[in-house]
Structure 1
Amino acid sequence: MTRRQTDFSPAPASLPGLLLAVLLAAVASGGDASAKPLLTDSQLTYASACIAGDDTAKRLIEICTRGLEENRASDGQRIEMLDSLAWSYINVDDLDRADATFGDILTIDPQAEPGLQGSAWILYMRDDYAPAAELFRQAVARKPRGQNVAGLAASQYHARQIDLDEFTGYMRAALALDPDYRWAIRELGWVLAYADRYEPALEQFRTALAKNDWDANAEYGLAYVLSQQDKWHEAFDHVTRALEIDPDYISARSRRSLILLNLDRPKQALKDADAVIEAWPAADDGYVRKARALVALGRGSEANELLAGAEKQAGASSYLLFWRAKLLAGDGDYAAALTQIERSVALEEADHYDHRLHAEIAMELDRLPQARAAIDRALQLKPGDSYTQFINALVLLREERFEQGEAAFDAAIEAGLHGDYLGDFLSALVDKSRFIQAIQMRVRYSDRTDEAESSGSVAGSN
Structure 2
Amino acid sequence: MIHLKFQIVCSFLILSFASGCATYKGKLKEPVTQKKEYISQAAAKEGLPQDYRAYYHYLMGLINELHNDIEPAIKEYQKARLYDPKSIAVLKNLAVVSLRKGDIISALDACEESLKIDPNFISARMIKGSIYSSQKKYESAVEEYKKVIEIDPQAKDAHLYLGIIYAENKDYDSAIAMLEKLIKIEPNYVLGFYYLGRINAKTKNYAKAEEHFTKALEIHPNFLKVMEDLGLVYQLQKKHDSAIDMYKKILEIDPLNELAHNMLGEIYIKEEAYDKALDEYKKLSESLPDNVEVRIKMGLIYYQQKDLMRALEEFQLARAADPKNGKTIFYIASIYEEMNNYEDALDEWLKLLKIEPKSVDIMLHISQIYEKLKKLEEAIDIINRAIKIEPNDPKLYFYLGVAQYNEKRYTDAVENFKKAVEMEPENDTYHFRLGITYEKLKEYGKCIDAMKKTLQLNEDHPSAHNYLGYIYAEMGINLNDALEHIMKALEFESDNGYFLDSLGWVYYKKELYDKAIEKLEEAVLLVPDDPTMYDHLGEAYFRINNYEKAKDAWEKSLKGEKNSAIEEKVKKANKLLRNKPRK
What TM-score results when the alignment is normalised by the length of structure 2?
Answer: 0.43
8 Å CA contact 2:476–2:509 kept in 1: the answer is no
8 Å CA contact 2:394–2:419 kept in 1: the answer is yes
Q: Which runs of 4+ in 1 moved over 6 A?
A: 41-47, 63-66, 72-81, 98-101, 103-108, 118-124
Q: Which residue of 1 aligns with 2:569?
A: 394
Q: Which residue of 1 aligns with 2:487?
A: 308
How far 1:308 moved relative to its partner? 2.4
Q: Which residue of 1 aligns with 2:518?
A: 339
8 Å CA contact 2:332–2:345 kept in 1: the answer is no
Q: Which amino acid aligns with 1:235?
A: A
Q: Which residue of 1 aligns with 2:503?
A: 324
8 Å CA contact 2:538–2:551 kept in 1: the answer is yes
| Matching residue within 341, 348, 370 for 2:549 | 370
RMSD: 5.3
8 Å CA contact 2:436–2:447 kept in 1: the answer is no
8 Å CA contact 1:182–1:208 kept in 2: the answer is yes
- The structure number with the bigger radius of gyration is 2
Q: Which residue of 2 aligns with 1:35?
A: none
Q: Which runs of 5+ in 1 are unaligned?
A: 1-40, 48-62, 87-97, 401-427, 434-462
Greater RCO structure (CA 8 Å; 6+ sep): 1
Deviations 1:304-360 (A, max 9, x none): 122124322332301211222233334554433222111112226764443444344
Change (3 A) 1:398 1:227: same
Deviations 1:161-189 (A, max 9, x none): x3x55554554455455544444432332
**Alignment coverage as a number of residue pairs:** 325
How far 1:113 moved relative to its partner? 4.7
8 Å CA contact 2:465–2:488 kept in 1: the answer is no
1:205 and 2:380 matched: no
How far 1:238 moved relative to its partner? 2.3
Counterpart CA distance in 2 for 1:379 and 1:46 is 76
Change (3 A) 1:268 1:335: same
Counterpart CA distance in 2 for 1:107 and 1:306 is 55
Q: Which residue of 2 aligns with 1:141?
A: 317
Question: Is the partner of 1:213 in helix, strand or coil?
Answer: coil
Residues 152-163 of structure 1 aligned to structure 2 (within 5 Å): 152-160=332-340, 162=341
How far 1:241 moved relative to its partner? 3.7
Counterpart CA distance in 2 for 1:243 and 1:214 is 12
| Matching residue within 430, 434, 438 for 1:252 | 430
Counterpart CA distance in 2 for 1:46 and 1:367 is 85
1:238 and 2:416 matched: yes
8 Å CA contact 1:216–1:245 kept in 2: the answer is yes
**Greater displacement, 68-77 / 149-158:** 68-77
Counterpart CA distance in 2 for 1:291 and 1:266 is 11
Question: Is the partner of 1:386 in helix, strand or coil?
Answer: coil
How far 1:137 moved relative to its partner? 4.9
Q: Which residue of 2 aligns with 1:186?
A: 364
How far 1:299 moved relative to its partner? 1.8
| Matching residue within 377, 400, 403 for 1:222 | 400
Q: Which amino acid aligns with 1:398?
A: A
Counterpart CA distance in 1 for 2:137 and 2:430 is 44
Residues 392-431 of structure 1 aligned to structure 2 (within 5 Å): 392=567, 394-396=569-571, 398-399=573-574
Counterpart CA distance in 2 for 1:343 and 1:114 is 50
Change (3 A) 1:367 1:250: same
Counterpart CA distance in 2 for 1:45 and 1:399 is 92
Counterpart CA distance in 1 for 2:476 and 2:565 is 29
Q: Which amino acid aligns with 2:463?
A: D
1:271 and 2:452 matched: yes
Q: Which residue of 1 aligns with 2:197?
A: none
Q: Which amino acid aligns with 1:394?
A: K
8 Å CA contact 1:129–1:158 kept in 2: the answer is no
8 Å CA contact 1:341–1:357 kept in 2: the answer is yes
Q: Which amino acid aligns with 1:255?
A: R
How far 1:274 moved relative to its partner? 0.9
8 Å CA contact 2:520–2:533 kept in 1: the answer is yes
8 Å CA contact 2:538–2:550 kept in 1: the answer is yes
Deviations 1:105-155 (A, max 9, x none): 97864566557768988999xxx8955675355323312555544544454
8 Å CA contact 2:302–2:310 kept in 1: the answer is no
Change (3 A) 1:193 1:272: farther
Change (3 A) 1:344 1:183: same
Q: Which amino acid aligns with 2:364?
A: R
Q: Which residue of 2 aligns with 1:92?
A: none
Counterpart CA distance in 2 for 1:327 and 1:45 is 74
Counterpart CA distance in 2 for 1:64 and 1:390 is 73
Question: Is the partner of 1:311 in helix, strand or coil?
Answer: helix
Counterpart CA distance in 2 for 1:364 and 1:152 is 54
Counterpart CA distance in 2 for 1:186 and 1:370 is 45
Change (3 A) 1:64 1:298: farther
Deviations 1:75-100 (A, max 9, x none): 8899999xxxx9xxxxxxxxxxx978
Question: Is the partner of 1:253 in helix, strand or coil?
Answer: helix
Counterpart CA distance in 2 for 1:220 and 1:152 is 28
Change (3 A) 1:219 1:107: farther
Change (3 A) 1:372 1:190: farther
Counterpart CA distance in 2 for 1:236 and 1:42 is 61
Question: Is the partner of 1:346 in helix, strand or coil?
Answer: helix
8 Å CA contact 2:295–2:317 kept in 1: the answer is no
Q: Which amino acid aligns with 1:219?
A: Y
8 Å CA contact 2:281–2:297 kept in 1: the answer is no
Q: Which residue of 2 aligns with 1:425?
A: none
Counterpart CA distance in 2 for 1:366 and 1:64 is 79
Change (3 A) 1:364 1:222: farther
How far 1:300 moved relative to its partner? 2.3
